[in-house]
Amino acid sequence: MNAPDHTPNRSEHATTPLARASNGQTPHLHVQDVSKQFVTRKKGNLLVLDQVSIHVELNELVSIVGTSGSGKSTLLRIIAGLLHATSGVVCIDGQPVTGPGPDRGMIFQHDTLYPWLSVAANVEYGLKLQGVSRNERRDQAAYYVQMVGLDKFAHALPHQLSGGMKQRVAIARALANHPQLLLMDEPFGSLDAHTRTEMQQFLLRIWRETHTSILLVTHDVPEAVFLSQRVYVFSPRPGRVKTEIAIPFDTERSFGIRRTSTFHQLEWQLLDLLQQEHYEPSPPA
Ligand SMILES: Nc1ncnc2c1ncn2[C@@H]1O[C@H](COP(=O)(O)OP(=O)(O)OP(=O)(O)O)[C@@H](O)[C@H]1O
Ligand SMILES: [Mg+2]
């Protein structure tokens, strides 16, 4: 099904029909020909995203890697409905995105918990905004707090938690709204190496248990290979999809895959692509 016209995210010029997924169905998330230009005082018009097309299927975990400034966070904000694209279209299950909605949860690099609310109250917060009854909210919050292994900390305040625990709460809070798509912007970027690998395994488990589709932005190439079913590599600004790489491991992957030659080959392939980009001269301003 083609997306209806006359939506803020749709370009007047974007007339190409939406591509189909390989199974012939409309992709769960479909970003087509999205460009974003910021108008800045110092640099004038700044093209940040140039005709980006990506998709995420139901239950898929897809990553984006790219150099700093290639528009990855900007793209996530457009998909979240927090920013409008200059042109192009974003659809969830064939429906154009026109603003934020509970079907999409967003998790940022830095903790965005409300410091005055307990873990459970943070998790409940979105449900309260949606008008869910108090008892139902409590049950839901307890379920997701337990899912992320923090039941003993349900009444703790954010400052009493470690960085990894705070990100677990952020994930529980997003999941409690039952999003169809989790948008994660370098969610583990501020964590130490050990906590980060623990959180990666935790995310895989949560993804398998909840069947939520995930679009993850990361700078960490091994993280992208370990977690993803597909990886998009972005060119430097303006961000374009340079290539897309399928990751052939099972969803039930264990930490041991990091020692396999396939893992190392994929890691080097991605690093080479990013490195090439790094040394390519920028077009004249
Ligand atoms: N609101 C804005 N107004 C003007 N320019 C912006 C705005 N938001 C982002 N930019 C610019 O757009 C470019 C892309 O920013 P963005 O944050 O999307 O990059 P990124 O790929 O997420 O980078 P990083 O990997 O460092 O997080 C940068 O040059 C940034 O300065
Ligand atoms: Mg970013």
Instruction: Report residues near ion ligand 2: CB below 5 Å.
Output: 73
pLDDT at residue 23, as a whole number: 55
Above 60 in pLDDT, residue 284? no
Place of tokens 């906590």: 195
Above 70 in pLDDT, residue 98? yes
Q: Mean pLDDT across the stretch 242-255?
A: 92
Q: Mean pLDDT across the stretch 64-89?
A: 96
Residue 91 Cα to ligand 2 midpoint, Å, equals 22
pLDDT band at 285 (very low <50, low <70, confident <90, very high): very low
Q: Mean pLDDT across the stretch 109-132?
A: 92
Above 70 in pLDDT, residue 16? no
In a domain, 136, yes or no: yes
> Of ligand 1's atoms, which has the minimum distance to the CA of residue 70?
21
Q: How many residues does the chain have?
A: 285
In a domain, 150, yes or no: yes
Residue 135 Cα to ligand 2 midpoint, Å, equals 37
pLDDT at residue 27, as a whole number: 83
In a domain, 153, yes or no: yes
CA dihedral in degrees (279, 74, 52, 181; nearest 10)? Answer: 130
Choose which residue among 46, 77, 219, 242 to substitute to test ligand 1 binding: the one with the highest number of ligand atoms within 8 A of its C-beta: 46
DSSP string, the chain: -PPPS--TTS-TT--SPPPPPTTSSPPSEEEEEEEEEEEETTTEEEEEEEEEEEEE-TT-EEEEE--TTSSHHHHHHHHHTSS--SEEEEEETTEEP-S--TTEEEE-SS----TTS-HHHHHHHHHHHTT--HHHHHHHHHHHHHHTT-GGGTT--GGGS-HHHHHHHHHHHHHHT--SEEEEESTTTTS-HHHHHHHHHHHHHHHHHH--EEEEE-S-HHHHHHH-SEEEEEPSSSB-EEEEEE--S-TT--GGGGGSHHHHHHHHHHHHHHHHHHHSPPPP-
Residue nearest ligand 1's atom 1 by CA: 38
Residue 184 Cα to ligand 2 midpoint, Å, equals 10
Q: Mean pLDDT across the stretch 30-51?
A: 93
In a domain, 127, yes or no: yes
pLDDT at residue 263, as a whole number: 97
In a domain, 221, yes or no: no
In a domain, 146, yes or no: yes
The domain total for the chain is 1
Q: Which residue has the higher pLDDT, 11 or 76?
A: 76
Task: Report whether residue 74 contacts ligand 1, using a CB cutoff of 6 Å.
Answer: yes
Q: Which residue has the higher pLDDT, 279 or 59?
A: 59
Both tokens of residue 123? 């998790």
What is the Cα–Cα distance from 76 to 97, expressed in whole angstroms?
Answer: 12
Q: Mean pLDDT across the stretch 197-213?
A: 90
Above 70 in pLDDT, residue 267? yes
In a domain, 51, yes or no: no
Provide the whole-model pTM: 0.87
Above 70 in pLDDT, residue 21? no
- Evaluated on CA atoms 80, 86, 88, 89, the torsion sign reads positive
Task: Report whether residue 71 contacts ligand 1, using a CB cutoff of 6 Å.
Answer: yes
In a domain, 28, yes or no: no
Q: What is the pLDDT of residues 147-203, one digit of tens each?
A: 888 999 999 999 999 988 998 999 999 989 889 999 999 998 888 888 889 889 989
Domain boundaries, position 173 = 112-178
Above 60 in pLDDT, residue 17? no
Above 70 in pLDDT, residue 280? no
pLDDT at residue 251, as a whole number: 87
Choose which residue among 74, 108, 277 to substitute to test ligand 1 binding: the one with the highest number of ligand atoms within 8 A of its C-beta: 74
Q: In what order do the strands lie in the sheet with 87-92?
A: 44-56, 29-40, 87-92, 95-96
User: By percentage, how much of the chain surpasses pLDDT 70?
Assistant: 88
Task: Report whether residue 282 contacts ligand 1, using a CB cutoff of 6 Å.
Answer: no
Q: Mean pLDDT across the stretch 207-212?
A: 90
pLDDT at residue 110, as a whole number: 82
